[in-house]
Amino acid sequence: MPGRNVSKAGPLSPDEIALREELRANVQKLAGEIGERNMWHYTKLNAAADFIEHSFSQAGLRTRRDSYEMGGQTCYNIEAEIPGAHPEIILVGGHYDSVFGSPGANDNGTGVAATLALARQFASAKPKHTLRFVAFVNEEPPYFLSGEMGSLVYARRCRERGDKISAMISLETIGYFSDAPHSQTYPSPGLGMFYPKTGNFIGFVSNVHSRALLRRVITLFRKHAKIPSEGASLPSFIPGVSWSDQWSFWQQGYRAIMVTDTAPFRYPYYHSSSDTPDKLDYDRFTLVVSGMEKVIEDLDRL
Ligand SMILES: [Zn+2]
């Protein structure tokens, strides 16, 4: 397991300030304007899908809807791809549905906002790998870790097609930070044995099979990023390790990691009606995303 990074966050560069405002606008659109988006609010779920598709298109990317039927209604994963020189795929994504009763600003407006911003950053790149950006539907209960979870439907189809995904990066709740002592808590043994007690870091989590990918990503992140980070490769049964779309890719044998502020272990508004855009720390959220941009650039060069 990589050690602890305690570098101090510096001021934002002009590029980072522009990125911050883009992230803020994306979160505001998803969680402020559209609001709760799930199968109980199906029109809003689709409004979010339309917004995501539009945002990819505006960046000049070709988009595709990966659809499936559930209870007589159609659900969509939204994909944008930047073809590379060779067919190996680096996939970055997060879920766009919100849990019942929540507008989902941090969970997971942040992951989608980051996916959209990163897709735009790479839109005119000529990558070696194929870069794929995906917004997944139906991650939250009752679909969570079930066959109807959007990312599992998607990952199964990747496996059936023989897609060569060499890295999957799941962006899950990445916008809340605190410097207060004991702002990081753990309801059970597990991650708490590995992570510190102040919620000022971004976490990288993987299963044991994806350990080498996690090490590579966190090493690259620390080369550039101006925010502390923690990493742990743990058995997937430990609470928190499987809790997002990376799990779906593990089921299909792919290597995948999650980037997260640790959500329920830190965020007081987790899965509540108060998970609104004003709760987020946009400066540190930006440093996570700008760091991930460098990680993707470097992963592509390897
Ligand atoms: Zn989530």
Q: Give the residue among 98, 148, 112 at the shortest CA–CA distance from 271.
A: 98
State how far Cα 43 lies from the chain centre: 23
Interatomic CA distance for residues 280 and 114, integer angstroms? 13
Rounded to 5 degrees, φ, ψ at 257 are: -135, 160
Parallel, antiparallel, or unpaired: how do β-strands 73-82 and 130-136 relate?
A: antiparallel
pLDDT digit string (tens) for 229-271? Answer: 999 888 888 888 888 999 999 999 999 999 999 988 899 999 9
Q: Per-residue pLDDT for 161 more than 70? A: yes
Q: Per-residue pLDDT for 155 more than 90? A: yes
Please state the rounded mean pLDDT for residues 272-288. 98
126 Cα to the center of ligand 1, angstroms:
31
Please state the rounded mean pLDDT for residues 70-75. 93
128 Cα to the center of ligand 1, angstroms:
30
86 Cα to the center of ligand 1, angstroms:
32
Residue 192 tokens, joined? 């708490």
H/E element, 180: none
Rounded to 5 degrees, φ, ψ at 170 are: -95, 120
274 Cα to the center of ligand 1, angstroms:
15
Query: From residue 194, how far is each of 91, 231, 243 by CA, in Å?
Result: 27, 8, 17
Q: Is 223 helix (H, G, I), strand (E, B) or coil?
A: helix
Query: From residue 235, how far is each of 3, 207, 211 by CA, in Å?
Result: 18, 5, 10
Query: From residue 292, how far is each of 114, 143, 288 by CA, in Å?
Result: 9, 28, 6
pLDDT digit string (tens) for 7-37? Answer: 345 689 999 999 999 999 999 999 999 999 9
pLDDT digit string (tens) for 181-192? Answer: 889 887 666 666
User: Looking at residue 189, what is its pLDDT?
Assistant: 61
Mean pLDDT for the chain overall: 93
Residues 6+ apart with CB under 8 A from 41: 35
Angle at the Cα of 117 from the Cα atoms of 28 and 233, rounded to 5 degrees:
100
pLDDT category at 195 given cuts 50, 70, 90 is confident
Please state the rounded mean pLDDT for residues 88-109. 98
User: Looking at residue 1, what is its pLDDT?
Assistant: 34
174 Cα to the center of ligand 1, angstroms:
10
231 Cα to the center of ligand 1, angstroms:
19
262 Cα to the center of ligand 1, angstroms:
10
263 Cα to the center of ligand 1, angstroms:
8
Query: CB-side exposure of 130: number of CA atoms within 13 Å?
Result: 15
244 Cα to the center of ligand 1, angstroms:
6
State how far Cα 23 lies from the chain centre: 13
User: Looking at residue 190, what is its pLDDT?
Assistant: 61
Interatomic CA distance for residues 294 and 225, integer angstroms? 8
Parallel, antiparallel, or unpaired: how do β-strands 165-171 and 256-260 relate?
A: parallel
43 Cα to the center of ligand 1, angstroms:
20
User: Looking at residue 10, what is its pLDDT?
Assistant: 62
pLDDT category at 277 given cuts 50, 70, 90 is very high
User: Looking at residue 3, what is its pLDDT?
Assistant: 38
